[in-house]
Structure 1
Amino acid sequence: MSAVVQLRLPGERAFDSARLGRLAIASLHAELALAPKPGLVTPFDAGSHDDMDAGTFLRSLFALRHYFTAMAHAGAADAPFARLRAHGLAAETAMLRATGGINTHRGAIFSLGLLVASAARCRRQHGHSVPAAQVCLGVQHWADDFARAPLDAQSPGQRARVQHGVPGVREQAAAGYPLLRELAVPTLRHALSAGLPRDAALCQTLMQLVAHIDDLNLLHRGGIDGLLWAQQQARGFLESGGAFAPGWQVRLHGIGERFVARRLSPGGSADLLACSWFLLQQEAA
């Protein structure tokens, strides 16, 4: 008979790591369940994707269910980036095994994993949850190390980043995720405080991200013309009232049909949306 012994670190509440891990998975599920989303996989359609659907994402989430808890434990222990990276590589292997080699959550494994680790580290230091912006800035604790870690030069996102000379998630992380601190989280917080239901607030935030970021998935699929077109579509939606205006679902569904016709999918924006929801939820957890 064997037993699993869980060590409790000084200043760490025993349940915090598991709770943060569950919040991360729930945030990714909230993004998946959201509809309509232009070009992205939803429970109702595959968007602009031929190789994945909601079932693919659910298999990936099941495979990743222990990863974010492990990242929280590592963050609370102030582990070096080498340990965080080892967890991330193992998670990527598990994801690819579960999906038959399809990349569903590589970006989230990196960004959301770092944010979970940072949230856990901040909780150990302060004895309680901290604001979203502080969690984002806390990622900079590992910045020197992940800036030196090897990159997969053959990944679509990395090829698009080099070809178009735009910053990627590493640069965002090293800067403390300004897109989350200054754009996505404030948009989501405002939409919720203004009374929008969760899904409407998430759609509003997603379109703010599409309108303002150099989404590497859009660049990979559509080049600079595709990115600029997608940004223009998102800005038009927001300028017409966004999710605050009556009939917004119909308008967003129509935008989604045009994204699918062009085979565009803002996967980078979707990852940041899940991160935004996690950051707000961890404040109250």
Structure 2
Amino acid sequence: MNCCNRSATEALAAALLQGLTAELYLTPKPGLVDLWDNGSHADLSLPKMVASIELIGVYFDELTAALAAGAASNELIGLGRIAEERMLARLATNTHKGAIFLGGLLLTASARATDDQPETLRLAVAAVATEIIALRTPAASNGAAARQTYRVGGILAEASAGLPCLFDIALPAWHASITRRADPQRAAFSMLAALMQKVEDTTALHRCGTAGLERLRRDGRMLELLLARDEDPVPLLQQLNLEYRRSNLTMGGVADLLGLAFGYLDFLGEPVRISAEQAATLDSR
């Protein structure tokens, strides 16, 4: 990796951390940790998620250094595994496991891409994902069980296809909303609505089966229509959160891709600065 690519990869790493923070602070989010509550996650909390993002920062530093040194793919996979083990040891639960995979994938692809065009990056993502999936040792997980039980591709298929939910779903939803009404928080909810309708969310499948995934699709469409009518999304999202908590439904895959989208937008020079103060103001309306 030359110095220019290294600089771009380091900038992307910093942006991805900002994206994870923006996703965390976006409030309210049905079934997910935010400033209002812990969603459908009894084992998670806002401070724990903040600490998790700090740990991912350590992993990104390690990864960018390894990429600069020309580390082999097996070594890069090992760094991701160490990051997961460190997260579990420090926090005693799975906080940002999906973000470790997706963030590591995008950073590695960025380092290997021949230019900074989105289409080039997409192709690099697909190539890196195919290589990583072929080399990694399959591990038992809730996501793996859901993929097998419900015959969906989940995050692995998404990665192998070059992250279409990022490039074809989330980013267009953001830009369409910003063009229509220059409100970053509404645009963030537009991305959430779009992703809820498209992501093969294995967390929802694991928790609530096909009915859970169908519920995400239906609610995402409802949120999209509400935003198109310029209505306030907060009452609906608060009600959905209460219902998701009662049914133990959540959407970890959607959250992972939403954070990735926030980070990539930040990298492109379109930062989504959702602070704790802004989100609290939104939630109090």
Q: Structure 1 length normalisation: TM-score?
A: 0.86
Which residue does the alignment assign to 1:230? Answer: 216
Equivalent of residue 252 in structure 1, options 237, 255, 261:
237
Check whether the contact 1:21–1:66 (CA below 8 A) recurs between aligned residues. Answer: no
Which digits, 9 at most, give the CA deviation of each residue in 1:251-282, with x for residues without a partner?
A: 22222222112111111000001111122222
Which residue does the alignment assign to 1:181? Answer: 167
Q: Write the distance in 2 (CA, Å) between the matches of 1:265 and 1:133.
A: 31
Check whether the contact 1:115–1:139 (CA below 8 A) recurs between aligned residues. Answer: yes
Tell which deviates more after alignment, 264-273 or 66-75: 66-75
Q: Write the distance in 1 (CA, Å) between the matches of 2:39 and 2:129.
A: 34
Which residue does the alignment assign to 1:103? Answer: 94
Structure 2 gaps, min length 5: 271-285
Q: Which amino acid aligns with 2:94?
A: N
Change (3 A) 1:230 1:144: closer
Tell which deviates more after alignment, 196-205 or 65-74: 65-74
Change (3 A) 1:14 1:119: closer
Q: Which amino acid aligns with 1:183?
A: I
Check whether the contact 1:184–1:276 (CA below 8 A) recurs between aligned residues. Answer: yes
Check whether the contact 1:211–1:234 (CA below 8 A) recurs between aligned residues. Answer: yes
Q: How do 1:115-264 residues align onto structure 2 when only pairs under 5 Å count?
A: 115-122=106-113, 125-126=114-115, 130-148=116-134, 149-153=136-140, 155-241=141-227, 245-264=230-249
Q: Structure 2 length normalisation: TM-score?
A: 0.86
| Structure 2 residue 262 is the aligned partner of structure 1 residue 277 | yes
| Structure 2 residue 103 is the aligned partner of structure 1 residue 112 | yes
Aligned alpha-carbon RMSD (Å): 2.1
Which digits, 9 at most, give the CA deviation of each residue in 1:54-80, with x for residues without a partner?
A: 111111112221212333344455543
Tell which deviates more after alignment, 112-121 or 88-97: 112-121
Q: Which amino acid aligns with 2:160?
A: A
Structure 1 gaps, min length 5: 1-8
Check whether the contact 1:24–1:68 (CA below 8 A) recurs between aligned residues. Answer: no
Check whether the contact 1:168–1:216 (CA below 8 A) recurs between aligned residues. Answer: yes
Q: Write the distance in 2 (CA, Å) between the matches of 1:88 and 1:59.
A: 17
Shift of residue 197, structure 1, vs aligned partner: 2.4
* Partner SS, residue 256 of structure 1: helix
Which digits, 9 at most, give the CA deviation of each residue in 1:118-137, with x for residues without a partner?
A: 22333xx43xxx24443232
Which residue does the alignment assign to 2:21? Answer: 29
Which digits, 9 at most, give the CA deviation of each residue in 1:204-227, with x for residues without a partner?
A: 111211122221010011011121
- Flag the structure with higher helix content: 2
Q: Which amino acid aligns with 1:249?
A: V
Change (3 A) 1:80 1:213: same
Check whether the contact 1:41–1:54 (CA below 8 A) recurs between aligned residues. Answer: yes
- Matched length: 269
What is the identity percentage for the equivalent residue pairs of Structure 1 and Structure 2?
Answer: 29
